[in-house]
Structure formats: structure tokens, C-alpha cells
Structure 1
Amino acid sequence: MKLPLTAHTRRPWRSHAFTQDFRTEDVWSFRTPGAGPDDFPVMLAAIRAGAGSAEQSPPARFLFAVRWKLGALLGWDRTDAGLGARVRSLRDRLPDDLRESAEGFAFEGMPLTPVYRLADEAVLELANKTVHALMHLGWVPTGDGGHELRMAVLVKPNGRSGRLYMALIAPFRHLVVYPALTRQWEGAWRDRALLLGGTAPRQ
């Protein structure tokens, strides 16, 4: 479900100290019924266990395939346009206590590099010729005593072409990509016991 940008910007995330020059683009919530305050690592593990491209919907797979084809044709994803080349990684801004926190943390099928992970938030990043983007995942209390996953996308477009690119893909993000992620990630939570080696039935 789409949320106002303030649902991210007004929460006391550690990431705010390192992302002042990024713009909050989207905020989305994912329902996790029965989740408790310490279940963020369980949610991340369930997402990783079910995050292969085969789990994506056909429209989402098609859009990503088109995006990678265009990127190859236009040189958007060349190595010299990415992290450590065109832009410095956000990890270069981190204090010592966060630098090693993301070891072993990544999502299969997503071209995202881990930045850091804490008990209630995590950040991943990507950079190409059009944009330097961050995915912030946060674990947030809900009004009914539970918790839910929230995702915020923060961006730093690369000039006018980057701003145009973000404007052009906005409808696809909202109508295809984020709803597909919702089905995938909420399903991963429901199936977490099976995905992580247990035998509990779906909720």
C-alpha cells in the first residue's frame, strides 16, 4: 500500500544522517500479520529465500527484461556508470559501527548492494547512468500492536536525463513493480516457515 512520504521522513531512522542529498521518491507498506518487534530478521530472511526472479509476476518480469535491454543498448548499466565509478557508495559515509553490519545481506534477483542492516532497518543501493538509488527497509509498529515492513525509495537523479527517467518509470513502479513486490513479499511472510525450513501452514 502506498503511504505519504512523511511515513518515512518523520521516523527516526539512522539513514537520515547519511541521505540528506537524496530525495524520498516512494514509500510503500507490506502487511505482516502476527509479526512482533523482533521479527525484522525473519522477514528479511523470508524475502531472500523467495526473491528469485521466478517468483516475480509475468508483467514485472517483462518490464525488468525490457529495462535491462534498454540499459544494454543505451549504456545505462556500464561498470563506469555505477558504484565506485560514477558515484561513491553510501557505505563510504557510514560510521564504524555500521560498516560491517551488512555482510552476507543481499536479495537474489535484485541488482542492489547492501549498505547496512540493523535490528529494525536496512539499506541497499544501486547506481547507473541515470540515478543513484537507495532502498530503505524499516520495521514499524502498527496501531493494532503488530509490526509491518515499510520500503522507502530514495533517489539522486543524474542530471536532467535522470529526472526524466524517474518521471517516465513512475507509472510502471506504482502499477506493476510495487504491487508485484507486495504479492511476493507478503507471500514470503505468510510462507516464512516453509521458506526457512519449517512446516507451518500458510496463514
Structure 2
Amino acid sequence: MRLPATEFTSRPWRIHDLAPDFTVEDVWGFRTPGAGPHDFPIMLAALQTDGGLDRNPPLVHFLFEVRWKLGALFGWDKPGQGIGARIPSLRDRLPPDLRETRTGRAFPKTPFTPVYELDDECAIELANKTVHAIAHLGWVPAPNGEYELRMTALVKPNGLCGQLYMAGIKPFRYLIVYPAMTQQWERAWRNRDRAGSKQ
């Protein structure tokens, strides 16, 4: 479910101080029935187990394949365009208390790198020739007294090329990628007992 940017900006996340130069691109909510305030690590473990890109439907697979082929053609994903090359990692901005926390979990079959992980939020990042992007995951109380997962995409496009790229993929995100992600991530929560056994 798409949410207004204020659902991210109004909450006291640590990421606000780390990424003031990034723009909120999308905020999305995921239903997690029965979730409590301390279940964020369980949700992350479920995503780690059941959330890989290989679980996406064929159309999403096709879109990612097209994206990787375009990246290879135009040199978007060369090592010199990524984290630690074209731009420094967000981890370089971490204050001492966050540096002492766990880096975070790797999410299989994604190009994202962990930045930090707390009891109710985490951040992962990626960079290529078009954009430096952060996916922020947060655990928030829902109106029904349970808790649910929120995902916010924060972006810093790389010049005109990056701006055009973000505009070009926007309809695909809303019409195809996010709906598929919603099914996948909500299924991961339903299958969390299997994920929890692997923590």
C-alpha cells in the first residue's frame, strides 16, 4: 500500500540525520497480522529467507533482466560506479553509537549493501551510475494495535541521467514491482516460523 511521505518524515528515524541530502521517493506499507513491537528482527529474518528476487513473478523477473542488460549496455553497473568508488558508503556517516551496532543483514539476490540495523529500523543502500539509493525499513504501530512494516525509498539521482532514469522506471515501480513486492513480503511474514528457525 502506497503511503504519503509524511508517514516517513514524521517519525523519529535515525536515518533522517544520516541522509538529509536524499529525497523521499516512495513510502510503502506491508501488512503483518499479529505482529508485536519486538517482532522487527523476525520480519527481517523472514525477508532474508523468503524475500529474494528469485521469488518474484515472471513479469518482475523480466523487468529486472531488462534492467541488468541495459546496465551492461550503458555501463551503469560497472564497479567504478558503485559504493566506495563513485560515492562513499552511507556507513561513513554513522555516528559512534550506530557504528557499534550490527551492520545489518544481507538480503539475498539484491544489489543492496547493509548500512545499520536497530530494533525497529534498518537501512540498506546501492549505487550505480544513475543513482545512490537507500531502502529504509521501519517497524511501526498500526491503527489496530498491531505492528507493520514500512519501506521508504530514498534517492539521490546522479545528474540528468539519474533524473531521467528515475522518471522512466516510476510507472513500472507502481504498476508492477511494488504490488509484487507486497505479495512477496507479506508472504514472508506468513512464513516467518520457517524463517525464525534459521536465525
TM bracket (short chain): over 0.9
Equivalent residues of 1:7, 1:27 under 8 A apart: yes
Equivalent residues of 1:29, 1:148 under 8 A apart: yes
Asked if 1:43 corresponds to 2:43, the answer is yes
Aligned-partner SS, 2:125: strand
Question: After the TM superposition, which residues 1-203 of structure 1 pair with which residues of structure 2 at under 5 Å, given as runs?
Answer: 1-103=1-103, 105-197=105-197
Residues 81-135 of structure 1: CA distance to partner in whole angstroms, max 9, x if unpaired?
Answer: 1111111111000012212434461100111000000000000000000000000
Q: CA deviation at 1:59?
A: 1.0
Q: CA deviation at 1:50?
A: 0.6
Cα distance in 1, alignment partners of residues 177 and 102 from structure 2: 25
Cα distance in 1, alignment partners of residues 62 and 176 from structure 2: 10
TM-score normalised per structure 2:
0.96
Q: 2:48 is aligned with what amino acid?
A: R
Cα distance in 2, alignment partners of residues 67 and 6 from structure 1: 30
Aligned-partner SS, 2:38: coil
Cα distance in 1, alignment partners of residues 100 and 111 from structure 2: 20
Equivalent residues of 1:100, 1:116 under 8 A apart: no
Aligned-partner SS, 1:26: strand
Long gaps (5+) in structure 2: none
Aligned-partner SS, 1:62: helix
Cα distance in 2, alignment partners of residues 74 and 116 from structure 1: 31
**How has the CA–CA distance of structure 1 residues 102 and 173 changed in structure 2, closer, same or farther, with 3 Å as cutoff?**
farther
Cα distance in 1, alignment partners of residues 100 and 188 from structure 2: 26
Q: 1:128 is aligned with what amino acid?
A: N
TM-score normalised per structure 1:
0.94
Residues 49-72 of structure 1: CA distance to partner in whole angstroms, max 9, x if unpaired?
Answer: 012333111111111111001001
Long gaps (5+) in structure 1: 199-203
Cα distance in 1, alignment partners of residues 104 and 128 from structure 2: 23
Aligned-partner SS, 1:29: strand
